[in-house]
Protein backbone atom coordinates (compact mmCIF):
# COMPACT_ATOMS: atom_id res chain seq x y z
CA UNK A 1 0.00 0.00 0.00
CA UNK A 2 1.53 3.35 -1.01
CA UNK A 3 1.53 6.16 1.50
CA UNK A 4 -0.70 8.29 -0.75
CA UNK A 5 -3.61 5.86 -0.41
CA UNK A 6 -6.07 6.19 2.45
CA UNK A 7 -7.05 2.80 3.83
CA UNK A 8 -10.56 2.74 5.34
CA UNK A 9 -12.23 -0.10 7.24
CA UNK A 10 -15.97 0.26 7.83
CA UNK A 11 -18.68 -1.69 9.60
CA UNK A 12 -22.26 -1.32 10.73
CA UNK A 13 -24.10 -3.11 13.52
CA UNK A 14 -27.67 -3.37 14.69
CA UNK A 15 -29.34 -4.85 17.78
CA UNK A 16 -32.47 -6.01 16.11
CA UNK A 17 -33.02 -5.19 12.45
CA UNK A 18 -34.52 -2.63 12.68
CA UNK A 19 -33.35 -1.52 16.08
CA UNK A 20 -30.60 0.51 17.73
CA UNK A 21 -27.67 0.66 15.34
CA UNK A 22 -24.11 1.87 15.17
CA UNK A 23 -21.41 2.42 12.61
CA UNK A 24 -17.64 2.49 12.85
CA UNK A 25 -14.76 3.44 10.59
CA UNK A 26 -11.00 3.23 10.90
CA UNK A 27 -8.98 5.48 8.58
CA UNK A 28 -5.24 4.95 8.01
CA UNK A 29 -2.94 7.28 6.11
CA UNK A 30 0.82 7.73 6.26
CA UNK A 31 1.11 5.94 9.58
CA UNK A 32 -1.73 7.86 11.22
CA UNK A 33 -5.04 6.39 12.33
CA UNK A 34 -8.39 8.01 13.00
CA UNK A 35 -11.46 6.30 14.45
CA UNK A 36 -15.00 7.46 13.72
CA UNK A 37 -18.30 6.12 15.04
CA UNK A 38 -21.90 6.99 15.69
CA UNK A 39 -25.29 5.51 16.45
CA UNK A 40 -29.00 5.86 15.71
CA UNK A 41 -31.89 4.78 17.91
CA UNK A 42 -33.96 3.11 15.17
CA UNK A 43 -32.26 1.94 12.00
CA UNK A 44 -31.15 -1.10 10.01
CA UNK A 45 -27.84 -2.85 9.57
CA UNK A 46 -27.69 -1.86 5.89
CA UNK A 47 -28.22 1.82 6.74
CA UNK A 48 -25.38 1.63 9.26
CA UNK A 49 -23.06 -0.04 6.71
CA UNK A 50 -23.76 2.78 4.25
CA UNK A 51 -23.41 5.46 6.93
CA UNK A 52 -19.98 4.13 7.95
CA UNK A 53 -18.69 4.47 4.38
CA UNK A 54 -20.28 7.90 3.93
CA UNK A 55 -18.90 9.33 7.17
CA UNK A 56 -15.43 7.97 6.46
CA UNK A 57 -15.35 9.51 2.97
CA UNK A 58 -16.79 12.79 4.30
CA UNK A 59 -13.90 12.94 6.80
CA UNK A 60 -11.34 13.20 3.99
CA UNK A 61 -10.25 16.81 3.61
CA UNK A 62 -9.38 16.59 -0.10
CA UNK A 63 -9.98 14.27 -3.06
CA UNK A 64 -8.13 11.06 -2.28
CA UNK A 65 -7.20 7.63 -3.53
CA UNK A 66 -8.93 5.21 -1.15
CA UNK A 67 -9.05 1.49 -0.52
CA UNK A 68 -12.28 0.87 1.39
CA UNK A 69 -12.55 -2.51 3.12
CA UNK A 70 -15.99 -3.70 4.19
CA UNK A 71 -17.61 -6.94 5.29
CA UNK A 72 -20.92 -5.81 3.78
CA UNK A 73 -21.77 -7.50 0.49
CA UNK A 74 -24.76 -5.11 0.29
CA UNK A 75 -22.41 -2.10 0.31
CA UNK A 76 -19.70 -3.58 -1.89
CA UNK A 77 -22.05 -5.05 -4.50
CA UNK A 78 -24.31 -2.00 -4.33
CA UNK A 79 -21.46 0.28 -5.36
CA UNK A 80 -19.72 -1.98 -7.83
CA UNK A 81 -22.72 -3.66 -9.50
CA UNK A 82 -26.12 -2.12 -8.72
CA UNK A 83 -25.53 1.65 -8.45
CA UNK A 84 -24.95 2.34 -12.17
CA UNK A 85 -28.14 0.44 -13.09
CA UNK A 86 -30.20 2.16 -10.37
CA UNK A 87 -29.11 5.56 -11.67
CA UNK A 88 -29.86 4.59 -15.27
CA UNK A 89 -33.39 3.53 -14.20
CA UNK A 90 -34.09 6.72 -12.23
CA UNK A 91 -33.26 5.17 -8.82
CA UNK A 92 -35.50 2.16 -9.40
CA UNK A 93 -34.67 -1.52 -9.03
CA UNK A 94 -35.02 -4.06 -11.85
CA UNK A 95 -38.57 -4.71 -10.56
CA UNK A 96 -39.31 -0.96 -10.87
CA UNK A 97 -39.45 -0.44 -7.09
CA UNK A 98 -37.77 2.59 -5.49
CA UNK A 99 -34.24 1.78 -4.31
CA UNK A 100 -34.14 1.20 -0.55
CA UNK A 101 -31.91 3.59 1.41
CA UNK A 102 -31.88 5.87 -1.63
CA UNK A 103 -30.97 8.92 0.46
CA UNK A 104 -27.75 7.23 1.59
CA UNK A 105 -26.93 5.74 -1.81
CA UNK A 106 -27.28 9.19 -3.40
CA UNK A 107 -24.95 10.75 -0.81
CA UNK A 108 -22.42 7.96 -1.28
CA UNK A 109 -22.60 8.42 -5.05
CA UNK A 110 -21.80 12.14 -4.61
CA UNK A 111 -18.76 11.27 -2.51
CA UNK A 112 -17.57 8.67 -5.01
CA UNK A 113 -17.44 11.39 -7.65
CA UNK A 114 -14.90 13.21 -5.44
CA UNK A 115 -12.62 10.28 -4.53
CA UNK A 116 -11.04 7.37 -6.36
CA UNK A 117 -12.23 4.36 -4.34
CA UNK A 118 -11.22 0.73 -4.69
CA UNK A 119 -13.68 -1.56 -2.89
CA UNK A 120 -12.56 -4.71 -1.09
CA UNK A 121 -14.77 -7.21 0.69
CA UNK A 122 -13.61 -9.29 3.67
CA UNK A 123 -15.54 -11.94 5.58
CA UNK A 124 -16.94 -10.46 8.80
CA UNK A 125 -15.92 -11.81 12.20
CA UNK A 126 -13.02 -13.70 10.63
CA UNK A 127 -10.16 -12.09 12.57
CA UNK A 128 -9.30 -9.34 10.05
CA UNK A 129 -7.82 -6.71 12.40
CA UNK A 130 -9.12 -3.57 10.64
CA UNK A 131 -12.59 -5.02 10.21
CA UNK A 132 -12.70 -6.18 13.84
CA UNK A 133 -11.81 -2.65 15.01
CA UNK A 134 -14.52 -1.09 12.86
CA UNK A 135 -17.00 -3.64 14.24
CA UNK A 136 -15.96 -2.86 17.82
CA UNK A 137 -16.41 0.88 17.17
CA UNK A 138 -19.92 0.28 15.80
CA UNK A 139 -20.95 -1.89 18.74
CA UNK A 140 -19.45 0.53 21.27
CA UNK A 141 -21.41 3.40 19.69
CA UNK A 142 -24.65 1.48 20.25
CA UNK A 143 -23.72 0.80 23.89
CA UNK A 144 -22.85 4.45 24.49
CA UNK A 145 -26.11 5.62 22.93
CA UNK A 146 -28.06 3.17 25.09
CA UNK A 147 -26.09 4.23 28.18
CA UNK A 148 -24.94 0.76 29.09
CA UNK A 149 -21.68 -1.15 29.31
CA UNK A 150 -20.72 -3.23 26.27
CA UNK A 151 -22.90 -6.31 25.94
CA UNK A 152 -20.98 -9.58 26.05
CA UNK A 153 -21.70 -11.90 23.16
CA UNK A 154 -23.98 -9.59 21.17
CA UNK A 155 -23.36 -9.82 17.48
CA UNK A 156 -22.78 -6.74 15.37
Q: What are the residue numbers of the active site? A: 11-12, 49, 71, 125, 135
Residues in binding site: 11, 49, 71, 135
Residues 6+ apart with CB under 8 A from 53: 8, 10, 25, 68, 70, 75, 108
CA distance 78 to 46: 11
Q: What share of the chain is helix, strand, coil (3-state, %, to 5)?
A: 40, 30, 30
Instruction: Say what the alpha-carbon torsion angle 49, 55, 57, 61 is, to the nearest 10 degrees.
Output: -170
CA distance 37 to 51: 10
Amino acid sequence: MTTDVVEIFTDGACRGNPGPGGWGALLRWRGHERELSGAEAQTTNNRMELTAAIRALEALKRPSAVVLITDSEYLQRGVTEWLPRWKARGWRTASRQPVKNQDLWRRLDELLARHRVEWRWVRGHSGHAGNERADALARRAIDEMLGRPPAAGEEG
